[in-house]
C-alpha cells in the first residue's frame, strides 16, 4: 500500500524541521525523511538573527531555543595590528528579538525536532533516502533506496542540503561559484578565551575568525594558504599551531572537531518546478561572513510554510506557491552577494591591498552616519517584496512610501487582560488585519470582515495607552491593544497608511488608508489566490487552515529514530 501524506519534506536539517513545525501547527499531514540515522550533532551555523527567532516564536519554540543562544553578540573586525576596523552591535530589536545571537546549532535543531512530537500528524523517518519521484496531475510518488514502501504526497520540498537529491531530480541548475580559498574550522569546548563576543581578524598574513557560540563552545577559523595541503591542515600539530596564534596554551584546548571547507556562492535556477520545491541549502549556498546561511533557510520555511498549508487545505489556489520563488529568490541573491563581498573585504593576503582597505575603513569610521550604518547593520538586505503575495496600491494623494511587502515590527503591547506581550503573540499564527485607533468592522464593511473571519484572521485595533480601556469601538471579534512603548504610533507616523493586512509570516500583504480598506481587501483575495468564502480542507482537513492545530497534551507524535 502506498502511504498518503500532504507534504513530504526531504531532509531533517533546520529548514526542513522548521517547515514541518509550521505545517504541523496548521494541521497538515507531513512526513520528513532523512537519509542519515540521526540529526547532525556538530556545530555548523553559529549565528541566529532576529527574523529566525521571530519564526521560532511563531512555532511556539523560542523559549526552548533561547537557552542555547548568546543574545546581543558584538562582532568586531580588527586589522593586522589589532586596531579596530569596525564593530557591529545593533541596538534595536524592532522585530522583537536581538539582531545578532550566537547559538549551538545541534541543540537548537534538537529542539526543532522535539517540537514535532506535539503533532500526531507529523512524522520523521531517519535512515530513509529518496531514490526517485514521479509527478502527475494530482501529486508525487516517491520511491526510497532504503527499502521503505513508496509514499504519495501532494507536494515534495527538498531541504536536503547543497548536494540536494531533490534538486537533481528536478533537473534544476545550481548557478554560481565555489571559492578556491580554503578555511580550517576548529570547534572547542571549555572556551579558552571565555568572553561572550566574536571577532574577525583581517590580517593579510592569515585572516582568522573567533566566535563565541554558547555553553562554553568557541569556533576558530583560519585561512589555509595555497601551498598548504588539506592533509597538512588535518594534522593535529598544524591545528594546534593555528590555535597558538589565539590562545596561550593550545595543547590544553578541548577540541570537539576540526575540518577544512570552502565557501560557495550558489543559487538554484528555480525554487519550484511543478509539485517539487527547494528550501535552505538546497536552494542557495552563501559564504559564512554574515552568518546568513542558516537564517536564509529559516526564512524559506517561514515564507513557504503558510502558503503550502493554505493550498493543501483548499483555502488558496496552487498559483500561490509560485510567489515563493518570486519573493525569496531576490532576497537570497542579495544575501549571497553581501556575504561574498564581505569575504573579499576581509580576506586579501596582499599587504598593499589590505593596507588600502584599512585606510578606507578607518577614514569611513570617523563619519558618524557611516559608523552607524555599520554598527546598526543597516547594510543587511531586508525582505521587500515588489511582486508575489502582495498588493501594491496606487500612491495616495498624500504621497509617501508604502510599507507593503516589508516585515511589520513587533513591539511589546498591552491588551485588556495581558501586559507586556510581544505583538505576534496577540496576532496569532494566521492572517491579521490591524488598524490604528479606528472601528475595524465599520471601515472594512460586513462582507470583507466576514471573509477574513472565515479565514481565521485576527482583527486588531491598536490604540494609545490612554485609550486602552475606552469601550467605544468594542467588538467581540476585535482585540484592542495598547501601544505600550509608543513604537506602533512611531511606525504609523512614518506612513500615511492606517490599515494593514498581515500575512502569517508577518509580511504586510497590503496597506491603505481607512476608506480604501474594502477595496484593498478585495484585491488581496485575488493576489493571494484565496478561495471565495475561505474554503474548507480537503484530504481529511476541515475548518480554517490558519487556526493553530492543537498539539497533543503528551508527546504522542510518530517521530521515529534517534535524534
The binding site for FAD consists of 6-35, 271-281
C-alpha–C-alpha distance, residues 332 and 303, integer Å: 12
C-alpha–C-alpha distance, residues 360 and 348, integer Å: 14
C-alpha–C-alpha distance, residues 289 and 207, integer Å: 12
How do 75-78 and 84-88 pair as beta strands? antiparallel
CB-count burial class (<10 Å; 0-12, 13-18, 19+) for 460: buried
For 230, the 3-state DSSP assignment is helix
Phi, then psi, of 343 in degrees rounded to 5: -60, -40
- Contact in structure between 563 and 39 (CB atoms under 8 Å): yes
**What is the C-alpha R_g of the chain?**
24
Q: Is the Cα dihedral 354, 358, 361, 364 positive or negative?
A: negative
Q: For every residue of 120-136, which 3-state class applies, written as one string?
A: CCEEEEECCCEEEEEEC
DSSP string, 8-51: EEE--SHHHHHHHHHHHHTT--EEEEESSSS---S----EE-HH
Beta bridge partners of 477: none
From first CA to last CA, the distance across the chain in angstroms is 28
- Contact in structure between 244 and 250 (CB atoms under 8 Å): yes
**Residues contributing to the annotated binding site:** 6-35, 271-281
CB-count burial class (<10 Å; 0-12, 13-18, 19+) for 518: middle
Shortest CA distance to 8 belongs to which of 154, 172, 168, 170?
154
CB atoms within 10 A of CB 206: 15
The C-alpha cell that represents 47 in the structure block: 549565528
- Contact in structure between 204 and 354 (CB atoms under 8 Å): yes
Amino acid at each position: 500500500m502506498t502511504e498518503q501524506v500532504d507534504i513530504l519534506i526531504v531532509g531533517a536539517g533546520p529548514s526542513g524541521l522548521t517547515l514541518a513545525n509550521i505545517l504541523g501547527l496548521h494541521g497538515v499531514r507531513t512526513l520528513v525523511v532523512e537519509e542519515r540515522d540521526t540529526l547532525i550533532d556538530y556545530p555548523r551555523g553559529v549565528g541566529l538573527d532576529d527574523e529566525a527567532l521571530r519564526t521560532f516564536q511563531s512555532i511556539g519554540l523560542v523559549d526552548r531555543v533561547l537557552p542555547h543562544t548568546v543574545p546581543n553578540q558584538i562582532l568586531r573586525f580588527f586589522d593586522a595590528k589589532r586596531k579596530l576596523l569596525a564593530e557591529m552591535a545593533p541596538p534595536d530589536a524592532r522585530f522583537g528579538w536581538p539582531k545578532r545571537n550566537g547559538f549551538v546549532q545541534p541543540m537548537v535543531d534538537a529542539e526543532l525536532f522535539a517540537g514535532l512530537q506535539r503533532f500526531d500528524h507529523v512524522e520523521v523517518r531517519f535512515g530513509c533516502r529518496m531514490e526517485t519521484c514521479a509527478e502527475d496531475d494530482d501529486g508525487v510518488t516517491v520511491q526510497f533506496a532504503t527499502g521503505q514502501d513508496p509514499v504519495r504526497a501532494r507536494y515534495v520540498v527538498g531541504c536536503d542540503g547543497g548536494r540536494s537529491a531533490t534538486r537533481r531530480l528536478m533537473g534544476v541548475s545550481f548557478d554560481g561559484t565555489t571559492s578556491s580559498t580554503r578555511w580550517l574550522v576548529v570547534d572547542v569546548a571549555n572556551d579558552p578565551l571565555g568572553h561572550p563576543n566574536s571577532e574577525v581578524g583581517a590580517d593579510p598574513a592569515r585572516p582568522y575568525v573567533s566566535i563565541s557560540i554558547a555553553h562554553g563552545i568557541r569556533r576558530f577559523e583560519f585561512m589555509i594558504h595555497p601551498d598548504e595541503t588539506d592533509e597538512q591542515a588535518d594534522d593535529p600539530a598544524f591545528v594546534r599551531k593555528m590555535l597558538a596564534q589565539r590562545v596561550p596554551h593550545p595543547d590544553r584546548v578541548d577540541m570537539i572537531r576540526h575540518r577544512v571547507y570552502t565557501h560557495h556562492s550558489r543559487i538554484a535556477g528555480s525554487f519550484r518546478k511543478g509539485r517539487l520545491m527547494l528550501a535552505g541549502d538546497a536552494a542557495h549556498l552563501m559564504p559564512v561572513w554574515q552568518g546568513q546561511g542558516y537564517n536564509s533557510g529559516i526564512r524559506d520555511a517561514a515564507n513557504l510554510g503558510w502558503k503550502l498549508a493554505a493550498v493543501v487545505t483548499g483555502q488558496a489556489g496552487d498559483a500561490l506557491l509560485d510567489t515563493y520563488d518570486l519573493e525569496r529568490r531576490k532576497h537570497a541573491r542579495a544575501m549571497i552577494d553581501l556575504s561574498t563581498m564581505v569575504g573579499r573585504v576581509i580576506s586579501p593576503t596582499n599587504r598593499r591591498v589590505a593596507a588600502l582597505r584599512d585606510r578606507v575603513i578607518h577614514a569611513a569610521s570617523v563619519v558618524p552616519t557611516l559608523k552607524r550604518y555599520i554598527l546598526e547593520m543597516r547594510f543587511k538586505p531586508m525582505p521587500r517584496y515588489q511582486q508575489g503575495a502582495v498588493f501594491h496600491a496606487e500612491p495616495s494623494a498624500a504621497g509617501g512610501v508604502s510599507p507593503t511587502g516589508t516585515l511589520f515590527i513587533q513591539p511589546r503591547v498591552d491588551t485588556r487582560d495581558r501586559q507586556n506581550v510581544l505583538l505576534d503573540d496577540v496576532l496569532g499564527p494566521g492572517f491579521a488585519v490591524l488598524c490604528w485607533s479606528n472601528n475595524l468592522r465599520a471601515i472594512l464593511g460586513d462582507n470583507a470582515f466576514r471573509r477574513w473571519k472565515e479565514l481565521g484572521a485576527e482583527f486588531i485595533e491598536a490604540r494609545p495607552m490612554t485609550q486602552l480601556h475606552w469601550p467605544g469601538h468594542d467588538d467581540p471579534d476585535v482585540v484592542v491593544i495598547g501601544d505600550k512603548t509608543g513604537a506602533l504610533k512611531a511606525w504609523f507616523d512614518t506612513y500615511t497608511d492606517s490599515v494593514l493586512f498581515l500575512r502569517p509570516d508577518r509580511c504586510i500583504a497590503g496597506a491603505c488608508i481607512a476608506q480604501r480598506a474594502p477595496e484593498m481587501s478585495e484585491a488581496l483575495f485575488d493576489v493571494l489566490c484565496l478561495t471565495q468564502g475561505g474554503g474548507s480542507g480537503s484530504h481529511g482537513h476541515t475548518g480554517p487552515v490558519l487556526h493553530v492545530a492543537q498539539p497533543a497534551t503528551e508527546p504522542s507524535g510518530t517521530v521515529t529514530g534517534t535524534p
